[in-house]
A and B are shown apart, each in its own frame.
Chain A
Amino acid sequence: MGEWMVARRVVIVGGGTAGWMTAAALAKLLPGRCAVHLVESEAIGIVGVGEATLPHIRAFNERLGIDEADFMAATRATFKLGIEFVNWGRIGDSYIHPFGTFGPGGGEVDFHQFWLRLKQQGVAVPDLDLFSMACTMGRMNRFALPSRDSRRLDSTFGYAYQFDATLYAPYLRTIAERMGARRTEGRIVTVHQDGETGDVTSVQLESGEKIEGDLFIDCSGFVSLLLDKTLGEPFEDWSKWLLNDRATAMPCRTAGAVTPYTGVIAMPYGWRWRIPLQHRTGNGYVYSSQFLSDEDAASALIAAVEGEPIAEPRVLRFKAGRRARSWVGNCVGVGLASGFLEPLESTSIYLIQAAITALLELFPEKDISPVDRDEFNRLIDLEYDRIRDFLILHYHATERTDTRYWDYVRTMDIPDSLSEKLELFRRRGRVVKYREGVFLDASWVAVYLGQRVIPKGHDLRADAPSAESLVAGMQKLAAEIQALSGAMEDHGAYLDRYCPMKDAA
């Protein structure tokens, strides 16, 4: 038992969102087990991807004891009920991928099966969106916190945040430092390794200072200083399915309403994000350099944004895929150092969180056990693989023929795991069920139907009720959702009251 009491020296390489999320979580949740030391250089910029998040982040913040309104004010955050996808199936299409269910949730047969059955019988039914609280509130620009009473309709949605990632890291830094984490400013010039095991023993700064540790967390971003540059862990390249390798980003002033959802607009050679914050709107064009030059991307972005630009477009380069292993020796990659998936479904911060959660549970003692390391890598792989298929679906399920880019993705070979899922949905609207996993049934249904993957049949159990009773029930449900959403406050007004940012930008 004695060995447990020896605190492990944890060195986090790199600040930014990944670094400070890790530092805050370790310092707060494992105070006796580790001494946290973060090394970052102000000269190295923060990528700051993932301004839009998934609902899971609320659990992370809660574990750290973060007060929601305080955090939202500090990061100039807005609420997010889902993502609006525009021009994906065809130019002119729009659908919302909601955080929440279609219909009242629960029940043996999924709600969309009854809806499909009526459609297939030729009965006129409202769009599926109108049976989702999150979609309806989003379209109406309303917000309220969900009810905790699971019998109520207004408990059937979840929410996340859209926030300024460059402000989230400093916010977490305050927490981490209050809990005893140390920070050293400086650029790392050398990584020292044990001659025998290859484990990293210390990192040396420009100043000559050497920081020793037992466990190293690589949060160095795309540079991947430890996993790639030092340990040479191979990168599994997924760019044949996810071909975007550039993004150009540029904030602008908000012109319209502050929407409680993220906008994702398909473009001729990729897609554009629109993330409304309290003080500005984040924009970016994610594209493939095979098809579009940086200059053309920048001008397309400038032409598309709704308000006055606040900065020059800034280009980021990346490649879709992940390291074969995220935990190698005594180095654990968290965030971009371990892999990258484009932020189409706002998964960047989620993946950071998944790595931290797994690390907390598998935190090593004196010696690192291969069992723990393997399990960590297995968990991270599962997350990446499932998100990968979900992202590829967005590109593959399209009828767009307007550019060579869309021709390629529409006709490319996709992983077997995805073609099986697609075929099952096409036949009778079945979604391959996972009990755990980041995107559950409703997410898949929203994207399939939103992108014109229309099932030929439906679940036969949906034939049991009479058409009249189903139509009447659906009309009542849609009316209730309308009424509940309509009675809610405007999203902007809610933010002004609940969590106004402290000072204007």
Chain B
Amino acid sequence: MVVLGGGLLGWSAAAALRRKLPALRVTVVTLPPPPDALVERIGSTLPSIIEFHRDIGMSDGDAPLRANCSFRLGTEFQHWDGERPSYVHAYDRYGQPLGTASFHIHWVRQTQLGSAPPFDQYSPAAMMARSGRFILPETDPASPFAHFEYGLALDPQAYPQMMRAYALHLGALERTGGFRGARLDGETGFIAALALDDGQEIKADLFIDCSGPRALLRGALDQDFEDWSQWLPCDRLLLADTAPVAEPSPLDRAIAHGAGWRWVAQSLSRTSHGFAYASSELSDDKAARTLRGHAAADPQAPIALRQGRRPQPWLRNCVALGDAATMVEPLEWTNLHLAHSAIDRMVAMMPDRDCVAVELWDFNRQCAAETTRVRDFLALHYVASKREESLWQRMRDTAPPDSLAHTMRLFSERGRLPFYEDETFARDGWLAVLLGQGVIPRRTDPLIDAVPPAQSEQAMVAMRDGIARLVSTLPTHADFLGNLQRQAAR
């Protein structure tokens, strides 16, 4: 096996391969990650990273203690709808079911009857995040803080270094020397070898392309690309880092803008600022001025973003991972998540040398199902906005992809969410965004009739008060991190 790409993704893939399939020989041909490889650049990650670490044999403490990572509980969305208050998408339950109906149906009914406090007030992790506090999920299932998940905010230097050291420890080999190109077998179209600058060739049975959006290997086989820009309009990205703050928030902020959106994500190593925008609406200069105004730092050169995916990330003996397979804006922080998920899938489905089409078909099918729903979830943020600038108008006037249209139709009708395989975001995540952006179902589920509104109200007040009371007793994120380090030092 040869992995091309020397960033955190290439080393993560190598570590997973060595750990799960120790009989395979894995060589990483290192390349400095290009600036437009978002998997390498975006530090905010989803909770699936915790499971990925466990799967490859790392302990939960490794990332925070050895790689300077801090925790994140979710994202606060501001100004996505001019009228409504900001909302938090946390990785947690929102409310508890009452009777036979889901909680959100009760919330919708209370809203229709008058008003109900914002939906995120019923999510323990969302409220913990808003108050800047953090604990790990509790083991007692009766605790309101037992069910949430958390992601990590990565240190852009320390984390790839840790992953490299770990992969080498597991027996992965490192090859430097500059990549010149791929040589194809004229008959089969398979990749026969990688040519290096020093004139040597590296042969392998499988080539794993972690080289970023240009897909130096996979791109040599074909250039098929499915473009999503009609639904995800941002085609530029600006990034700027500033010094870390003393009390980093576990809650990132995503703030909508007339031409896109910008974010602020605080961590132990830095505060990262970013701005995703449509070049049709805003010049690079103006965008840079905007970001400079908010971040008080000079942004780096703009990154061109072409959102979409390769319909077949795995073709013949070459698998594309990360930005080489799918490129999406960092909204909801799915970049590394999609890459991890593809690594797991690749390991689980590892075929024979001949890479028979039917086995790759299932890999590609699952990748497609997963990325389709991520695309839908991101597009939802635009479709469900009520902002009036022309970009936002245009997004509302564009017919959404079928699966998103189906989701919106069902939800707007009576608060149901359809079931899809390979969904990245939990039902409560969809609810947080839909209800947070003011998509209120027209009717409620008939199964709610058994519980009178007064009873819902009483239970909802108790949930809210319970969460608020408990949150105030928790340590701040900074205190939690400090304690963790002191405990480890002992």
Interface residues of A in 383-426 (CB under 8 A from B): 420, 423-424
Q: Kindly state the separation between the CA atoms of A375 and B22 in the bound complex, as whole angstroms.
A: 46
Residues from chain A with Cβ under 8 Å of B183 in the complex: none
Q: Kindly state the separation between the CA atoms of A406 and B84 in the bound complex, as whole angstroms.
A: 66
Q: Kindly state the separation between the CA atoms of A109 and B347 in the bound complex, as whole angstroms.
A: 11
| Selected contact of B352 from candidates A4, A369, A457, A463, CB within 8 Å | A457
The digit string for B353-381, where 1 denotes a CB below 8 A from any CB of A, is 00010110110000000000000000000
Known pairs A32-B449, A375-B410; A435 contacts B421 (CB<8 A): yes
- At the interface, yes or no: A479 with Cβ under 8 Å from chain B? no
- At the interface, yes or no: A285 with Cβ under 8 Å from chain B? no
| Selected contact of A420 from candidates B347, B358, B416, CB within 8 Å | B358
Residues from chain B with Cβ under 8 Å of A463 in the complex: 21-23
Binds B, one of A46-54, A222-230, A357-365, A470-478: A357-365
A contact patch SS: loop
Residues from chain A with Cβ under 8 Å of B421 in the complex: 434-436
Q: Kindly state the separation between the CA atoms of A436 and B423 in the bound complex, as whole angstroms.
A: 12
- At the interface, yes or no: B446 with Cβ under 8 Å from chain A? yes
- A33 B350 Cβ-Cβ under 8 A: no
Residues from chain A with Cβ under 8 Å of B113 in the complex: 1
Known pairs A33-B446, A430-B349; A375 contacts B418 (CB<8 A): yes
Interface size class of A (residues with CB under 8 A): 20 to 34
Interface residues of B in 430-469 (CB under 8 A from A): 443, 445-447, 449
- B449 A30 Cβ-Cβ under 8 A: yes
The digit string for A1-22, where 1 denotes a CB below 8 A from any CB of B, is 1001000000000000000000
- Report the nearest A residue to B419, measured CB to CB: A436
- Report the nearest B residue to A26, measured CB to CB: B446
The digit string for A436-448, where 1 denotes a CB below 8 A from any CB of B, is 1000000000000
- B347 A372 Cβ-Cβ under 8 A: no
| Selected contact of B414 from candidates A30, A372, A430, A459, CB within 8 Å | A372
Residues from chain A with Cβ under 8 Å of B349 in the complex: 430
Q: Kindly state the separation between the CA atoms of A362 and B21 in the bound complex, as whole angstroms.
A: 47
- At the interface, yes or no: B112 with Cβ under 8 Å from chain A? yes
- A432 B362 Cβ-Cβ under 8 A: yes
- A33 B23 Cβ-Cβ under 8 A: no
The digit string for B46-64, where 1 denotes a CB below 8 A from any CB of A, is 0000000001000000000
The digit string for A453-471, where 1 denotes a CB below 8 A from any CB of B, is 0000101110110000000
- A460 B449 Cβ-Cβ under 8 A: no
- B416 A424 Cβ-Cβ under 8 A: no
Q: How far is the CB of B447 from chain A (nearest CB, A)?
A: 7
- At the interface, yes or no: A240 with Cβ under 8 Å from chain B? no
- At the interface, yes or no: B409 with Cβ under 8 Å from chain A? yes
Residues from chain B with Cβ under 8 Å of A435 in the complex: 421
| Selected contact of A430 from candidates B100, B362, B443, B449, CB within 8 Å | B362
- A464 B410 Cβ-Cβ under 8 A: no
- At the interface, yes or no: A504 with Cβ under 8 Å from chain B? no
The digit string for B228-240, where 1 denotes a CB below 8 A from any CB of A, is 0000000000000
Q: Kindly state the separation between the CA atoms of A329 and B359 in the bound complex, as whole angstroms.
A: 43
- At the interface, yes or no: B296 with Cβ under 8 Å from chain A? no
- At the interface, yes or no: A119 with Cβ under 8 Å from chain B? no
The digit string for A101-117, where 1 denotes a CB below 8 A from any CB of B, is 00000001100000000
Interface residues of B in 407-430 (CB under 8 A from A): 409-410, 413-414, 416, 418-419, 421
Known pairs A1-B112, A427-B356; A460 contacts B443 (CB<8 A): no
Q: Kindly state the separation between the CA atoms of A4 and B444 in the bound complex, as whole angstroms.
A: 10
Residues from chain A with Cβ under 8 Å of B100 in the complex: 29
- A360 B447 Cβ-Cβ under 8 A: yes
- A420 B447 Cβ-Cβ under 8 A: no
- At the interface, yes or no: B351 with Cβ under 8 Å from chain A? yes
- Report the nearest A residue to B359, measured CB to CB: A427
Residues from chain B with Cβ under 8 Å of A424 in the complex: 358-359, 362
- A108 B55 Cβ-Cβ under 8 A: yes
Residues from chain B with Cβ under 8 Å of A33 in the complex: 446, 449
The digit string for B393-417, where 1 denotes a CB below 8 A from any CB of A, is 0000000000000000110011010
- Report the nearest B residue to A427, measured CB to CB: B359
Most buried by B among A361, A371, A423: A371
| Selected contact of B22 from candidates A361, A459, A464, CB within 8 Å | A464
| Selected contact of B416 from candidates A1, A108, A375, A434, CB within 8 Å | A375
Q: Kindly state the separation between the CA atoms of A375 and B20 in the bound complex, as whole angstroms.
A: 41
- At the interface, yes or no: B243 with Cβ under 8 Å from chain A? no
Residues from chain A with Cβ under 8 Å of B22 in the complex: 463-464
- Report the nearest B residue to A423, measured CB to CB: B358
Residues from chain A with Cβ under 8 Å of B20 in the complex: 460-461, 464
- At the interface, yes or no: B348 with Cβ under 8 Å from chain A? yes
Residues from chain A with Cβ under 8 Å of B416 in the complex: 361-362, 375
Residues from chain A with Cβ under 8 Å of B24 in the complex: 460
Residues from chain A with Cβ under 8 Å of B356 in the complex: 427
Residues from chain A with Cβ under 8 Å of B358 in the complex: 420, 423-424, 427
Known pairs A460-B350, A463-B21, A464-B20; A30 contacts B447 (CB<8 A): yes
- B446 A461 Cβ-Cβ under 8 A: no
- Report the nearest A residue to B442, measured CB to CB: A369
- B449 A365 Cβ-Cβ under 8 A: no
- A420 B361 Cβ-Cβ under 8 A: yes
The digit string for B24-50, where 1 denotes a CB below 8 A from any CB of A, is 100000000000000000000000000
| Selected contact of B446 from candidates A1, A30, A423, CB within 8 Å | A30
Q: Kindly state the separation between the CA atoms of A434 and B421 in the bound complex, as whole angstroms.
A: 7
The digit string for B108-152, where 1 denotes a CB below 8 A from any CB of A, is 000011000000000000000000000000000000000000000
Q: How far is the CB of B98 from chain A (nearest CB, A)?
A: 15
Residues from chain A with Cβ under 8 Å of B351 in the complex: 427-428
| Selected contact of B447 from candidates A29, A434, A464, CB within 8 Å | A29
Residues from chain B with Cβ under 8 Å of A434 in the complex: 421
Q: How far is the CB of B103 from chain A (nearest CB, A)?
A: 16
- A372 B413 Cβ-Cβ under 8 A: yes
The digit string for A255-295, where 1 denotes a CB below 8 A from any CB of B, is 00000000000000000000000000000000000000000
- Report the nearest B residue to A419, measured CB to CB: B358
- A460 B21 Cβ-Cβ under 8 A: yes
Residues from chain A with Cβ under 8 Å of B350 in the complex: 459-461
Residues from chain B with Cβ under 8 Å of A363 in the complex: 446
- Report the nearest B residue to A456, measured CB to CB: B352
Residues from chain A with Cβ under 8 Å of B352 in the complex: 427, 457
Q: How far is the CB of A121 from chain B (nearest CB, A)?
A: 13
The digit string for B178-205, where 1 denotes a CB below 8 A from any CB of A, is 0000000000000000000000000000
- A369 B361 Cβ-Cβ under 8 A: no
| Selected contact of A459 from candidates B348, B419, B445, B449, CB within 8 Å | B348
Q: How far is the CB of B363 from chain A (nearest CB, A)?
A: 10
Q: Kindly state the separation between the CA atoms of A432 and B443 in the bound complex, as whole angstroms.
A: 37
Q: Kindly state the separation between the CA atoms of A436 and B418 in the bound complex, as whole angstroms.
A: 12
- Report the nearest B residue to A372, measured CB to CB: B413
Residues from chain A with Cβ under 8 Å of B446 in the complex: 4, 30, 33, 360, 363
Interface residues of A in 303-353 (CB under 8 A from B): none
Most buried by A among B112, B350, B410, B446: B446
Residues from chain A with Cβ under 8 Å of B447 in the complex: 29-30, 360-361
Q: Can you sample 30 A-B contacts with CB below 8 Å?
A: A4-B443, A4-B446, A30-B446, A33-B446, A108-B55, A109-B348, A361-B445, A362-B414, A362-B416, A363-B446, A371-B409, A375-B416, A375-B418, A420-B361, A420-B362, A427-B351, A427-B352, A428-B351, A430-B349, A430-B359, A432-B362, A435-B421, A436-B421, A457-B352, A460-B20, A460-B23, A460-B350, A461-B20, A463-B22, A464-B22
For the A-B complex with A423-B358, A463-B23 known, give 11 more contacts whose Cβ atoms are closer than 8 Å. Answer: A33-B446, A33-B449, A361-B416, A371-B410, A427-B351, A427-B356, A428-B351, A434-B421, A436-B421, A461-B21, A463-B21
Q: Which positions in B face A, CB cutoff 8 Å?
A: 20-24, 55, 100, 112-113, 347-352, 356, 358-359, 361-362, 409-410, 413-414, 416, 418-419, 421, 443, 445-447, 449
